[in-house]
Chain A
Amino acid sequence: MSSQVYLDHAATTFLRPEAQEVWLETASQVGNPSSLHRAGRLARRVVEEAREQIAAALHVRPSEVVFTAGGTEADNLAIKGAAWASPERRTIVCSPIEHHAVLDPVEWLVEREGRRVQYPRVDTIGRVDIDSVMELLDNDVALCTVMWANNEIGTVQPIAEIADACRSAGIPFHTDAVQAVGMIPVDAALPGLTSLAVSGHKIGAPVGVGALIVDRDARLEPLLHGGGQERDLRSGTIDAAGIAALGVAMEHAIRDQVELAARLTVLRVNLVERVLSRISGTRLQGDAGVKPSERLPGNAAITFDDCEGDALLMLLDAAGIACSTGSACTSGVPEPSHVLLAMGVDAMTARGTLRFSLGRDSTQADVDALLEVLPEVVDRARRAGRPRIASST
């Protein structure tokens, strides 16, 4: 079989060599960053330097960086933490196109604590309607949460406007910036932004480390209780090695962001143009913008009429090409994307949609390789059968 053409960078991307190096180096030293002796202090120093690197990259203060075990934990801490800190406010305003790391904790709060969730409208390219958000901000709202940019369709949200509206209403605002950091400019110091989630493995650090950037005065109940690390917000032995890697990865990601966005935009536009012109019955979902900072540079969700996304995935996998559909359930059954459904796309169309996401290592050769096999793959998938009509999702 030919070597893999990897077009699923939004799922995870390659570990940066510099990040790997500092990770191994730090991991080979012994020392708990919370210990008072020399070994501990040396480990602590690595952590604090990384904290400063990350703070500088995101325009915030070091004390506003809380290390977690990844983006999902950061989102959970922000959402549950804010909700638990305001038990008297029962409503959460949450966009319907969030990643499950945001949607699910919100749904859990609704089911378990009898809270209420309000979803603002999104338009047909998946942009949250700011007026719809503002209509929902009242004094029963404990938190508003909207992602910086969507991983499937690439659409960037009006974060500055939403943050401003929340600030005026006195409501905390959280944004999941997991896909945006390193791809488009992200300013975590926006007025009105209470917290922002970052994931290490999306920017070339290892899986298992992330951060919640959070306002000094934000009130959050922690998820984890224990040794009181990270200002009592996140107990647990500090992962010096992971954090060191995150710091290096973040520095590189921010430094390279403009060039990367420009390069990936060219590749993505080329990919989309060729797929749409070469194969009939195809269309792009989400923002079709061609300027690097208008939407995520490397992500493209393309619908293929009259075929099942999972048949396409299987056939592409057999041809050595990796991409994805919306998401999969625990046992591995692909499910139609809730993002597309929220945009008003019907279930059948959603099931025939693939997500291609380019990353740091992507080249024109990857796009060429995709175009070489895709027409035949789509042809065969179409012959294998139309998607079944989903009765409920």
Chain B
Amino acid sequence: MRVLAALSGGVDSAVAAARIQDDGHEVVGVHLALARADHVSGSRGCCSADDARDARRVADTLDIPFYVWDMHEEFTESVMQNFIAEYQAGHTPNPCLRCNESIKFSAVLDRALGLGFDAVCTGHYARLIDTATGRQLHRAVDPAKDQSYVLGVLQADQLAYSMFPLGGSIKDDVRTEAEQRGLLVASKPDSHDICFIPDGDTTGWLRERLGEQPGDIVDAESGERLGSHQGTYGFTIGQRRGLALTTPAAEGERRYVVDVDVATSTVFVGSAELLGIRVIDAIEPRWTEVPIEGSWEGSVQVRAHGDALPATVTVAATASGIALRIELHEALRGVAPGQAAVLYDGTRVVGSGTIHSTTP
């Protein structure tokens, strides 16, 4: 097949491309220029000139053609602006899912197919398993690296043209393999931050764009004013740090962000008990294979690096569209609207929704 290998400049996508080349596919490497961050040097962020160069050198080592695709306009519109809008609405977005959904497995995939490629290959840790009934998306075998969560927004027509060669591998082995293959990126550290915020200071990044929006920090139960903040976008449900409270808590009590009200620019804090929720209402469902109907038993994961918890999911039509009501069998703390709720049946990804609201 003619396969487009997305090369980020990191070790995972490099080894993925090498493996499919070994399998006999005709591989072309493409680096996606998503954020115009040429002033950012060093290899921490995505899409710096260093990353482009590293990706190019991987292509050289594999002796495959290499191009850079400029997707910064689409990325700005679909991912970065959505990120800002979500924070403005008091939600906690996950930009990696948005990027996979609208850039990597949409704009890039469409372009690749249009130009005559048969598939797009990435270094994501996840497994695709073809069965008689269709193609399934499963967790990777390396639980520490499993990225099936961020791929939980992909649907059948996207997965049909995807390749994830690393799903059956352990990360350490991938690094070793990279060394053996002579890929210089073998020793490059993984990037952990949001790719367009390479220094990790999300609050600072948002402050530059939204300005300071001061407000009060208030006790969720008593209504007592406990301090002030410079912008609700600096807070996420479940957050414990960064609360500059003028009134100290009672002995031994930890306080957490339990709610955020953008309209009044108020951040509500309370004890851990207040964080416990049982029901998650999610919107914009995406189905990996076939949609669930009615009621379903399985597990749900609400954070990129979190456990999947048993839940009963009910699909219902509402005035605004189809919604998912997720009833957890045990209370969970720290669930932020805007994040994805990804549904699993064992290791198999069933689908996902965007968390809209929660109920204790």
With A331-B49, A332-B52: A381-B115 Cβ-Cβ less than 8 Å? yes
Give the distance in Å from the alpha carbon of A318 to the alpha carbon of B70 in the complex: 19
B316 in contact (CB, < 8 A)? no
B114 near A383 (CB under 8 angstroms)?
yes
- Residues of chain A within 8 A of B33, CB atoms compared: 331, 333
A333 near B115 (CB under 8 angstroms)?
no
Contact for B53 among A310, A331, A380, CB less than 8 A? A331
B68 near A380 (CB under 8 angstroms)?
no
A310 near B67 (CB under 8 angstroms)?
yes
B111 near A332 (CB under 8 angstroms)?
no
- Residues of chain B within 8 A of A384, CB atoms compared: 111, 114-115
B110 near A385 (CB under 8 angstroms)?
yes
B346 in contact (CB, < 8 A)? no
Within 8 A of A (CB), among B12-70: 28, 31, 33, 38, 49, 52-53, 56, 65-70
- Residues of chain A within 8 A of B114, CB atoms compared: 380, 383-385
B68, closest chain A residue (CB): A332
A40 in contact (CB, < 8 A)? no
Shortest Cβ gap from A3 to chain B (Å) = 16
Q: Which of B67, B69, B115 has the most CB of A within 10 A?
A: B115
- Residues of chain A within 8 A of B199, CB atoms compared: none
- Residues of chain A within 8 A of B73, CB atoms compared: 388, 390-391
A331, closest chain B residue (CB): B52
A371 in contact (CB, < 8 A)? no
Within 8 A of A (CB), among B212-262: none
B86 in contact (CB, < 8 A)? no
Q: Which of A310, A331, A380, A381 has the most CB of B within 10 A?
A: A331
A381, closest chain B residue (CB): B115
A311, closest chain B residue (CB): B115
Give the distance in Å from the alpha carbon of A192 to the alpha carbon of B115 in the complex: 52
Give the distance in Å from the alpha carbon of A159 to the alpha carbon of B6 in the complex: 48
Shortest Cβ gap from A314 to chain B (Å) = 6
B116 in contact (CB, < 8 A)? yes
B74 in contact (CB, < 8 A)? yes
Shortest Cβ gap from A64 to chain B (Å) = 40
Shortest Cβ gap from B130 to chain A (Å) = 27
Give the distance in Å from the alpha carbon of A317 to the alpha carbon of B115 in the complex: 12
A168 in contact (CB, < 8 A)? no
A105 in contact (CB, < 8 A)? no
A380 near B115 (CB under 8 angstroms)?
yes
Shortest Cβ gap from A104 to chain B (Å) = 15
Shortest Cβ gap from A276 to chain B (Å) = 24
B49 near A330 (CB under 8 angstroms)?
yes
- Residues of chain B within 8 A of A314, CB atoms compared: 28, 65, 67, 115
Contact for A317 among B53, B65, B69, B70, CB less than 8 A? B65
Shortest Cβ gap from A380 to chain B (Å) = 6
- Residues of chain B within 8 A of A383, CB atoms compared: 114
A208 in contact (CB, < 8 A)? no
- Residues of chain B within 8 A of A333, CB atoms compared: 33, 68-70
Within 8 A of B (CB), among A315-338: 315, 317-318, 329-334
B30, closest chain A residue (CB): A314
Shortest Cβ gap from B96 to chain A (Å) = 22
The 10 closest A-B pairs by CB, nearest first: A384-B114, A331-B52, A332-B68, A333-B70, A384-B115, A333-B68, A333-B33, A331-B49, A331-B68, A383-B114
> Please, could you name 5 A-B residue pairs with CB atoms under 8 Å apart, sorted by A?
A317-B65, A329-B38, A380-B115, A383-B114, A385-B111
Additional pairs, 19, CB under 8 Å, beyond known A314-B65, A333-B33, A380-B116: A310-B67, A310-B69, A310-B70, A314-B115, A315-B116, A318-B65, A329-B38, A330-B38, A331-B68, A332-B31, A332-B52, A332-B66, A332-B68, A333-B69, A380-B114, A380-B115, A384-B111, A384-B114, A390-B73
A-side residues, CB < 8 A to B, are: 310-311, 314-315, 317-318, 329-334, 380-381, 383-385, 388, 390-391
